[in-house]
Amino acid sequence: MAFGALTEEEQSLQKKYALLRKKKKALAAKQKAEAQQQTSVKRAASEDQKIEAPVNAEEATERAKKLIKTGAIKVKTENKDTGFKRVRKMKELEKPTEKPVQFQPFSAAHPESEDTASPSPETLALPVEPGVIITEALLAILGNVLVVLSSGWRQTFPPAGRHFVFSMACSDLLLGVSFAVSIAPAEAGRWIYADYWAKIIATAECSFHTLTAIALAGLNLDRHYVLSSGCGLSGRKSKLFMFVAWIGVLSWYTFAAVYGVPVEYDPLIARPVFDLNTFVWFSVVSFVLFFTAGTAALFCVILVLKALCGHQDAPPAQPSVFHINLAPVAPPVPAAPQPAQNGGDEALDRRYAKVVLLLTIGQLLLYLPYSCALLLREFTDVPVPPAFTFWSYWVTCFNTCLDVVVYSFLQQSFRNALSDIAVSVICGVYNVCCRKNRVEPGADVGTDLNSL
Query: Which of these ranges, 111-125, 228-242, 277-291, has the smallest mean pLDDT?
Result: 111-125
Domain that holds residue 420: 129-310+346-433
Answer whether 308's CB lies under 8 Å from 227's CB.
Answer: yes
Confidence of residue 217 (pLDDT cuts 50, 70, 90): confident
The better pLDDT of the pair 49, 158 is held by 158
Give pLDDT, residue 105. 42
Q: Is the pLDDT of residue 6 over 80?
A: no
Q: Is residue 1 part of a domain?
A: no
Q: What are the residues facing 263 on neighbouring strands?
A: 274
Q: Is the pLDDT of residue 247 over 90?
A: yes
Task: Give me the mean pLDDT over the 259-280 stretch.
Answer: 87
Mean of the pLDDT values across residues 151-165?
74
Residue 47's pLDDT is what?
62
Answer whether residue 192 is part of any domain: yes
Residue 364 lies in a domain: yes
* pLDDT digit string, tens, across residues 312-340: 544 554 554 545 554 555 555 544 444 43
CA distance 46 to 175: 68
- Segment 177-187 mean pLDDT: 89
Q: What is the pLDDT of residue 244?
A: 92
Residue 421, in any domain of the structure: yes
Whether 52 maps to a domain, the answer reads no
Q: In whole angstroms, give the CA distance from residue 364 to residue 173.
A: 19
Whole-angstrom CA distances from 294 to 220, 364, 436 are 12, 7, 56
Domain count, the chain: 1
Separation of CA 64 from chain center: 59
Residue with the larger pLDDT of the pair 281 and 333:
281
Cα 8 from Cα 18, distance rounded (Å): 15
* pLDDT band (50, 70, 90) for residue 207: very high
Quote the pLDDT of residue 115.
42
pLDDT by residue (tens digit) across 28-79?
A: 888 888 888 888 777 766 665 555 555 577 778 887 887 777 766 766 655 5
pLDDT band at 254 (very low <50, low <70, confident <90, very high): very high
CB-based burial label for 207 (10 Å; 0-12, 13-18, 19+): buried
Percent of the chain with pLDDT over 90: 7
Q: Give the model's pLDDT for residue 121.
A: 43
Is the whole-model pTM more than 0.95?
no
Query: Per residue in 100-122, pLDDT tens?
Result: 444 444 443 444 444 444 444 44
- Round to whole Å and give the CA distance between 123 and 118: 11
Confidence (pLDDT) at 412: 78
- Average pLDDT over every residue of 121-131: 55
pLDDT above 70 coverage of the chain, percent: 70
Mean pLDDT of 173-188: 89
pLDDT band at 291 (very low <50, low <70, confident <90, very high): confident
**pLDDT-wise least confident of 26-35, 83-92, 203-212, 399-408:** 83-92
Tell me whether residue 351 is in a domain. Answer: yes
Report d(CA 224, CA 221) in Å as an integer: 5
Long-range pairs for 357-360: beta carbons < 8 A, 24 or more residues apart: 357/220, 357/223, 357/301, 357/304, 357/305, 357/308, 358/406, 358/410, 359/216, 359/402, 359/403, 359/406, 360/216, 360/219, 360/220, 360/297, 360/300, 360/301
| Residue 293 placed within a domain | yes
Res. 427: pLDDT tops 90: no
Residue 367 has pLDDT above 90, yes or no: no
C-alpha span between 255 and 407 (Å, rounded): 36
Is 85 within 8 Å of 380 (Cβ atoms)?
A: yes
Does residue 403 surpass a pLDDT of 90?
no
Please tell me the predicted confidence (pLDDT) of residue 4: 59
- Mean local confidence (pLDDT), 177-203: 89
CATH number at residue 376: 1.20.1070.10
Domain presence at residue 370: yes
What distance, in Å, lies between the first and last C-alpha atoms of the chain? 85
pLDDT at residue 312, rounded to an integer: 52
Contact in structure between 410 and 353 (CB atoms under 8 Å): no
Provide mean pLDDT across the span 167-179. 90
